[in-house]
Structure 1
Amino acid sequence: MPTTHALRALTAATALTLAATPTAAHARPDYPGHTTSHYITATGTPRDTAYADDAGCAAAATGQNGLRILFLGTQEHPDRLRHPGTTAHTTTPRIPAGDTIDIAAAYAAGFTRCNDSGTTAHLALGVNNKDDGGITGRRAGRQWARIVDAAADRADTADVTVTGAVDAEPSWSSPAWARAWVDAYTATTDRRLYAANSAGGCPTPGQSTTACNNGWTLDDIHHLATGAAPTVHALPQIYRTDGIQARQWAHVSAWGLRHRDQPLRAAGALSQHTACTQRGGCARTHNTPRDAWTQLRDALDDHPTAPTPRLPYASDMRWP
């Protein structure tokens, strides 16, 4: 007979498959409600797991199923992480990349302890594509896949499915570095990767160029958010209130369908409304989770060549 662990893994895999199943063509999905995702500013002290435990408990108490991302920052050589939103010259604490495993286990424990309503979560452990950490994209992607696998083994609960995430943005690395990262990740693990990426500088429908910022192209954007492997699912950043980011991603989807026979494998939208409220400085980039999700749905729906995906997730970023 299958072990309890195997049954849990089968249940989680089934849930992931169902989440990815699209609706019929031309159906307009309804807003699913939003979860809270976190930027993690870890210090290498017991505070890190205590915070993760509290965050997991708070997430379960909402009763909202779905995806939550913990963004832990930038990978540095050989196996360190530095805080989100920093550069190689900052003096913020670095932690061993392996500390992520303890943080994930604490989040899962808090979620399970406070889960009185049968809520489930996909916990995606994420890093960004900043290439200033002295580590190659190939090594970084492979390293992160192994950490996600180890975290999934530690967070042994039917309530939480541990997966990976990446925040890949054109301004932060060469396209070759980012491609090497995602290709190495998907070659090392079959655990889902949520691509919470930007499409900075990319065209919108009606424009003929394929160029994006920093030498990236629509081909790069599509590869990192869908094309690299069937396990890659897009949760694009839809921060701007004018809707241009949603239109950029709709164009990425249309390009993928036309040139790769593969529209965007979209799982939902990411916003930063809470993070903006906490820190300010978000002129025109403070969409609410509902507005971000709705903009993406409507932009994708404007391209009748591909059915609108179900978009099961909306998540909003916050700082600790």
Structure 2
Amino acid sequence: MKKFGLRHCTPKIFLWFGLISLFFPAKSIEAASPPTSSSSYYMDTIDTVTLYEMGYQKGRADFSKAGTQQSIVILDFGGQPSPTTVSLRGMPDATLDQVKNAVQAYSRGYWKGTGSDNYSTVQVIVGTNNSYTVTNEGGRNFANMIDAINAHNTANSYSDQVEVDGGNDMEPGYDDTVSTRDWVKGYDAVNSYSLYNYGSADGCYHTNTNTGTTNYSCNNGWTYNDIYYISWGASPAWPLPQIYDNSGDMAEQWQNINKYSAVSQNNQMKFGASLTQAGACQDVGCHWELDNTPSQGWTQLINELNSDSITAESTKFPILSTDIQWH
């Protein structure tokens, strides 16, 4: 079963990050309004000055809002051409060490930007994807980088308000299941922090008549069980699903995968957030059916989870919202 506590958090600060269920009674959010969505980014730079400014502006924005802010921000640095590099979204490849320095700068910027607000927090998901060279070694190196960032942040007190976790946009269309599972196993072998799958469930069967007992197929030889493993079955894994499409099919896919998780694996999923791409669609364009707004994506996911008593259990835990754009 999934255990809380994989994330190294300060309980006073990160109440919802894996610990909220220990302090507050579970409460369904079926009728709740969508939460304020954070901005996530496809990154084209590892410049530390730029990343510091990004973090600082996010900190200032949270400081200016009433109350304590909690959000998730994905910084997606592209796939790994080698176990020690990332593709950096069309720019020259960068090393994982350069990514580490960039994220540390973002962390410092956020910490400085919040000023006298000592309680608002951001969870930074440092991301890659399962394209290019997808290996066990690459997963290990990525986890070691996440550990190093958090060690630096702890030493400098940034971890009081910034937690950094790993992320991977894992999609059936990008690579086969064997390589992708192996990358996750590599991450799991050395990790101290969580791993968020902010990918898709391409081609996965979706219908409300699903009982949760069948391991249905998806694209490229993937199955429900493969999506389950990389998103929740592996010990550090958490789902942060793409809910891009206007029709709601993506939300249905994840509801069905969650039902398979609960029924066949006896392991109910808990979702970190919903992910949309309205910002990226405005930046570079996208298919007209894949431009859900953050509120639309979040609402679709919540409604689908609440459509069945088994998967409705997942809405008893806070589900945030983030929308990705190009930096």
Q: TM-score, normalised by structure 1?
A: 0.87
Q: Which residue of 1 aligns with 2:94?
A: 95
Runs of 5+ unmatched residues, structure 1: 1-6, 87-91
Q: Which residue of 1 aligns with 2:136?
A: 138
- Alpha-carbon deviation of 1:145? 0.2
Quickly say closer, same or farther: Cα 1:138–1:299, change in 2 above 3 A: same
Q: Is this contact kept in 1: 2:83–2:138, CA < 8 A?
A: no
Q: Is this contact kept in 1: 2:42–2:76, CA < 8 A?
A: yes
Q: Which residue of 2 aligns with 1:110?
A: 109
Count, aligned residues: 300
Q: Is this contact kept in 1: 2:83–2:141, CA < 8 A?
A: no
Give, as a single letter, the amino acid of the residue that structure 2 aligns with 1:77: S
Q: How does 1:46-85 map to 2 (within 5 A)?
A: 48-63=47-62, 64-84=69-89
Q: Is this contact kept in 1: 2:83–2:135, CA < 8 A?
A: no
Give, as a single letter, the amino acid of the residue that structure 1 aligns with 2:148: A
Matches of 1:272 and 1:27, distance apart in 2: 23
Give, as a single letter, the amino acid of the residue that structure 2 aligns with 1:113: K
SS in 1 for 2:80: strand
Percent of residue pairs bearing the same amino acid type: 26
Query: Which residue of the other structure, out of 286, 293, 306, is the alignment partner of 1:301?
Result: 306
Matches of 1:209 and 1:16, distance apart in 2: 30
Matches of 2:220 and 2:20, distance apart in 1: 34
SS in 1 for 2:324: strand
Q: Which residue of 2 aligns with 1:4?
A: none
Matches of 2:175 and 2:308, distance apart in 1: 30
Q: Which shows bigger deviation, 13-22 or 99-108?
A: 13-22
SS in 2 for 1:125: strand
Give, as a single letter, the amino acid of the residue that structure 1 aligns with 2:189: A
Asked whether 1:240 is paired with 2:239, we answer no
- Alpha-carbon deviation of 1:139? 0.8
Q: How does 1:72-221 map to 2 (within 5 A)?
A: 72-84=77-89, 92-116=91-115, 117=117, 118-130=119-131, 132-133=132-133, 136-155=134-153, 156=156, 157=158, 158-205=160-207, 206=209, 210-221=216-227
Q: Is this contact kept in 2: 1:23–1:308, CA < 8 A?
A: no
Asked whether 1:18 is paired with 2:19, we answer yes
Matches of 1:60 and 1:103, distance apart in 2: 16
SS in 1 for 2:230: helix
Q: Is this contact kept in 1: 2:126–2:164, CA < 8 A?
A: yes
Matches of 1:165 and 1:232, distance apart in 2: 9
SS in 2 for 1:98: helix
Q: Is this contact kept in 1: 2:215–2:223, CA < 8 A?
A: no
Runs of 5+ unmatched residues, structure 2: 1-7, 63-68
Give, as a single letter, the amino acid of the residue that structure 2 aligns with 1:210: Y
Q: Which shows bigger deviation, 153-162 or 8-17?
A: 8-17
Query: Which residue of the other structure, out of 32, 36, 56, is the alignment partner of 1:33?
Result: 36
Matches of 1:181 and 1:11, distance apart in 2: 33
SS in 2 for 1:76: coil
Matches of 2:126 and 2:255, distance apart in 1: 26
Matches of 1:143 and 1:20, distance apart in 2: 32
Q: Is this contact kept in 2: 1:239–1:272, CA < 8 A?
A: yes
Matches of 1:269 and 1:15, distance apart in 2: 16
Quickly say closer, same or farther: Cα 1:143–1:36, change in 2 above 3 A: same
- Alpha-carbon deviation of 1:14? 5.9
Q: Which residue of 2 aligns with 1:252?
A: 257
Give, as a single letter, the amino acid of the residue that structure 2 aligns with 1:100: V
Q: Is this contact kept in 2: 1:34–1:316, CA < 8 A?
A: yes
Q: Which shows bigger deviation, 260-269 or 210-219?
A: 260-269
Q: Which shows bigger deviation, 280-289 or 99-108?
A: 280-289
